[in-house]
Amino acid sequence: MVELVGSTVVLREFRMSDVDATMAIVGDERVTTTLSFDSLTREQQSERIAATIQRAGETPRTEYYLAATLKSDGRLIGFGRLGLTGVRAAKLGGALAADHWGAGYALDGARTLLDFAFGDLDLHRVTAAIGPDNHASIAAVTRLGFVYEGTLRDHVYTNQAWRDSRLYSMLAQDWTPDAH
């Protein structure tokens, strides 16, 4: 069971009792429009969380799909994900409920996940694939020191259309914990 504590955000394992709170994220068009999947129904999200909890118990673990909560009162405000790929590598992803945008939670959550990725998990490379119009996410990874590598053409099918992704990467040698 993983619990990662940041300055303002705590990332913890999902519970089935989180389904309703997560609908402010995966059920809100303002949030999902820049994600690689379209808005979900409560039933679909319930199945996704059940599958996430199932995968969290598997060995070897292939992903860390964690609930992002406020350190102050435990409220669920989003999610962060490390999807393990290849050799000592992972894809970083995440989203916050729109009411919590612009408060620095994404930066704190991503830092906490990257400390875990390059620390406990001893990964070498973490990537983020971001829609070209997602200025908030691009600003966040740039702020963290990710390097732009190029554009993946027609990378994801979302909002009934193919979308390119800008690929960013962070290598272990680029990451200095708690220096940000």
Ligand X SMILES: CC(C)(COP(=O)(O)OP(=O)(O)OC[C@H]1O[C@@H](n2cnc3c(N)ncnc32)[C@H](O)[C@@H]1OP(=O)(O)O)[C@@H](O)C(=O)NCCC(=O)NCCS
Q: Which parts of this chain interact with ligand X (CB under 6 A)? A: 31, 34-35, 93-96, 101-107, 130, 134-137, 139-140, 143
Nearer to ligand X, 58 or 73 (CB): 73
How are strands ordered across the β-sheet holding 9-13?
3-5, 9-13, 63-70, 76-85, 89-96, 125-130, 161-171, 147-158
Nearer to ligand X, 79 or 122 (CB): 79
Helix (H) / strand (E) containing 152: strand 147-158
Nearer to ligand X, 24 or 59 (CB): 24
Query: At closest approach, how far in Å is the CB of 51 from ligand X?
Result: 20
Dihedral sign, Cα of residue 34, residue 13, residue 15, residue 58: positive
Measured in degrees and rounded to the nearest 5, phi and psi for residue 52 equal -65, -45
Nearer to ligand X, 6 or 94 (CB): 94
- Would you tell me how many other CB atoms lie within 10 Å of the CB of residue 162? 11
Query: At closest approach, how far in Å is the CB of 59 from ligand X?
Result: 28
Query: At closest approach, how far in Å is the CB of 52 from ligand X?
Result: 17
Query: At closest approach, how far in Å is the CB of 60 from ligand X?
Result: 25
Nearer to ligand X, 139 or 152 (CB): 139
Picking from 139, 1, 129, 16, the residue whose alpha carbon sits closest to that of residue 76 is 16
Query: At closest approach, how far in Å is the CB of 57 from ligand X?
Result: 26
**Torsion angle of the four alpha carbons 26, 32, 35, 41, in this order, in degrees rounded to the nearest 10:** 40
